[in-house]
Structure formats: structure tokens, C-alpha cells
């Protein structure tokens, strides 16, 4: 790995969405490249991590995959607190899950980290025949609310990695870096430029 100029960023990411929309399946696909027809229901939340390289930086996602059932929503702040990114998931064959997704967006906009990168994922895009939510509707909603939107399929792997990579690209990187070991803030030039040579 190139040692000069590289940045290693840890980014907390949370998945939110209605029950059985495929949150865990998206994570399993992204982290392990696997898919199972019946994924164990998540209780509380499950933790995963995966590192991706974007340009000259690596982003280590610390992923919190949360439980979907309504009563678990009261636990959600614990998982989205301090998160750099969120994927809000709905099931394209289920209108109610899209409505629920909008509520999550509202909640994150009001309570979450203001710089949070938010993605809206319309999952189960392989089930076209059963579609209930039009892609255009979701796209419009996403644009109006400053999210980026993709239809995904954890089953066929369509767009799954893309969502995570797109998030990685959009992270306001240097603000998020929690690693104190010799990080140089490149966009803060004059004051301590000469002394800070650890990355060269």
C-alpha cells in the first residue's frame, strides 16, 4: 500500500428501515459476498466492518445493522448517534416500507449528525413483477431531501457495493477522522505545515 498521502478513515454507518426489507442481507452481501433466502431476524443490532478503497484513501465502515420491528425504533438513537452515514432501506414491493423510510429520513435530518451522508436503497429490485414503489417516486423524494438513491438487490448483488462505494466517496473525510496518530489536515495549510512531516 502506498504510504505517502494515504488516509485511513473510520466511518460509522447505520442501516435503518422497516422489518424484512433486507437490511441484513445488504450487509451480508457487502461484507461477505453472500446471500441467504432466510436471514435470521436481527435483534437490537448486529455489527460488521468492511474496508473499501476510494481514490487514495481507505474507508473502514463500522456498520450497525438494526432491527426493523417498530418497537425497536426506540433503540435506534444509540446506533445512529455519531454516524457518518446511513442507508435507509425499503422494499420496492412494499409501499408501507417506503413510508417508513421517509420517517427515518425525517428523524435523521432532525436528530442525526448534520453532515451525515444518507442513501436511500430500494431493495429487492429483482422482484420487478411485485413492484409497488415506482423508482421515479423514490428518486424524486431522494433528490428533494438531499439523499442519493439506488435500487438494490442483495439477492443478485445489483448495486449493493455501489451504494457503499458511493457513500465512501461522499464522506466529508477529514472531519471524520478519529485516528489521532499523525493525521495531517491537508486543508489547513499555513499554521503548522513545515513541522508536520509524518506522512511524507
Which residue among 34, 36, 115, 172 contacts another protein (CB under 8 A)? 36
Cβ neighbours of 179 (radius 10 Å):
12
Which residue among 6, 33, 53, 78 contacts another protein (CB under 8 A)? 78
Q: Taking CB under 8 A as the rule, does residue 106 contact another protein?
A: yes
Which residue among 44, 56, 143, 146 contacts another protein (CB under 8 A)? 44
Shortest distance (Å) from residue 78 CB to another protein? 6
DSSP state of 177: -
Measured at the CA of 151, the angle between CA 102 and CA 62, to 5 degrees, comes to: 75
Give the separation between CA 160 and CA 59, rounded to whole angstroms. 16
Which residue among 5, 33, 82, 172 contacts another protein (CB under 8 A)? 82
Is the Cβ–Cβ distance between 200 and 4 less than 8 Å? yes
Q: Taking CB under 8 A as the rule, does residue 126 contact another protein?
A: no
Which residue among 45, 88, 138, 168 contacts another protein (CB under 8 A)? 45
Q: Taking CB under 8 A as the rule, does residue 79 contact another protein?
A: yes
Give the separation between CA 146 and CA 188, rounded to whole angstroms. 27
Amino acid at each position: 500500500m502506498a504510504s505517502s498521502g494515504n488516509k485511513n478513515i473510520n466511518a460509522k454507518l447505520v442501516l435503518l428501515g422497516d422489518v424484512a426489507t433486507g437490511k441484513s442481507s445488504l450487509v451480508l452481501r457487502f461484507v461477505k459476498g453472500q446471500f441467504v433466502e432466510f436471514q435470521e431476524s436481527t435483534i437490537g443490532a448486529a455489527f460488521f466492518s468492511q474496508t473499501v478503497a476510494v481514490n487514495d484513501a481507505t474507508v473502514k465502515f463500522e456498520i450497525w445493522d438494526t432491527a426493523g420491528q417498530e418497537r425497536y425504533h426506540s433503540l435506534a438513537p444509540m446506533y445512529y448517534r455519531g454516524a457518518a452515514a446511513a442507508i435507509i432501506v425499503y422494499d420496492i414491493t412494499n409501499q408501507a416500507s417506503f413510508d417508513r423510510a421517509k420517517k427515518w429520513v425525517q428523524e435523521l435530518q432532525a436528530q442525526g449528525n448534520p453532515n451525515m451522508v444518507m442513501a436511500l436503497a430500494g431493495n429487492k429490485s429483482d422482484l420487478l413483477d411485485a413492484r409497488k414503489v415506482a423508482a421515479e417516486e423514490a428518486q424524486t423524494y431522494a433528490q428533494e431531501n438531499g439523499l442519493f438513491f439506488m435500487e438494490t438487490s442483495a439477492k443478485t448483488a445489483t448495486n449493493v457495493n455501489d451504494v457503499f462505494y458511493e457513500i465512501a466517496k461522499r464522506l466529508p473525510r477529514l472531519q471524520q477522522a478519529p485516528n489521532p496518530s499523525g493525521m495531517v489536515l491537508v486543508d489547513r495549510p499555513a499554521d503548522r505545515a513545515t513541522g508536520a512531516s509524518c506522512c511524507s
